[in-house]
């Protein structure tokens, strides 16, 4: 959707159908940006040396097939992002997240299987209750040492932001990682 000759605002945020929309305004046109909002969580082991990952191997048609991922998914219409995360962690791993820390956000333009834009909130779960499942309908759940996580098959772009998720810097990162043909074409972030 494009509007012309709007010069009053630089950027306007509002709620549109199922997505939070960002309207980018320049001197010539307005572009509606409606990414899929999602939460991605990395559950830490009691000693903090491992994280719980899903190895996506159960569905051949899975966009993430064969890759290791954190746990999470799309935010539903009537929940906030923390409710989304805790629901997804419970559904995918059978545990209750008790100590949740926002580590960052990422704008993934063109990431989806059909080029959809995603906006992800990245969390670390430092404490939980319950015993994690050994698997779910997406794949097996494994405890992976953080120091060797980069050796696993994963999205190429994950290798850029995962060091920020697990480092000691307390500041939240905010990244932009556009995808072209299933690969990241750039990576930029700031920390606050």
**Residue range 72-100: average pLDDT?**
98
Q: DSSP states of 66-119 as a string?
A: T-EE-EEEEPPTT--HHHHHHHHHHHHHS-EEEEEEEEEEEEETT-STTS--EE
**Domain 36-191: which topology?**
Nucleoside Triphosphate Pyrophosphohydrolase (3.90.79)
Find the range with the poorest average confidence among 64-68, 70-74, 103-107.
Answer: 64-68
List, in sequence order, every beta strand (DSSP E) within the chain: 2-4, 11-16, 19-25, 29-33, 36-44, 50-56, 68-69, 71-74, 96-108, 118-129, 135-136, 139-145, 173-176, 179-180, 183-184, 188-191
Q: Where are the domains of the chain?
A: 2-33, 36-191
Residue 36 near residue 127 (C-beta atoms within 8 A): no
Question: How far is residue 189 CA from its own chain's centroid?
Answer: 15
* Burial (CB count <10 Å: 0-12, 13-18, 19+), residue 168: exposed
Confidence of residue 113 (pLDDT cuts 50, 70, 90): confident
Q: Please give the Cα distance from 25 to 9 (Å, whole number).
A: 7
The most distant pair of C-alpha atoms in the chain lies apart, rounded to whole Å, by: 57
pLDDT in tens, 3-42: 333 333 333 333 333 445 555 555 566 778 999 999 999 9
Residue 62 pLDDT > 60, yes or no?
yes
The pair phi, psi for residue 135, each rounded to 5°, is: -170, 170
Who wins on pLDDT, 94 or 9?
A: 94
């Amino acid at each position: 959707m494009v509007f012309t000759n709007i010069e009053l605002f630089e950027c306007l945020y509002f709620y549109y159908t199922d997505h939070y929309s960002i309207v980018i305004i320049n001197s010539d046109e307005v572009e509606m940006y409606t990414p899929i909002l999602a939460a991605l969580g990395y559950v830490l082991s009691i000693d903090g040396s491992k994280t719980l990952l899903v190895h996506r191997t159960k569905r051949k048609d899975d966009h993430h097939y064969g890759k290791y991922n954190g746990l999470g998914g799309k935010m539903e219409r009537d929940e906030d992002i923390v409710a989304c995360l805790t629901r997804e962690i419970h559904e995918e791993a059978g545990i209750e997240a008790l100590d949740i820390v926002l580590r960052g956000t990422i704008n993934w333009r063109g990431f989806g299987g059909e080029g959809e834009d995603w906006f992800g909130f990245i969390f670390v779960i430092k404490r939980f209750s319950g015993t994690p499942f050994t698997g779910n309908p997406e794949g097996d759940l494994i405890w992976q040492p953080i120091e060797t996580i980069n050796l696993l098959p994963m999205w190429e772009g994950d290798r850029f932001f995962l060091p920020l998720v697990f480092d000691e810097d307390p500041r939240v990162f905010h990244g932009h990682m556009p995808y072209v043909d299933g690969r990241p074409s750039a990576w930029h972030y700031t920390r606050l």
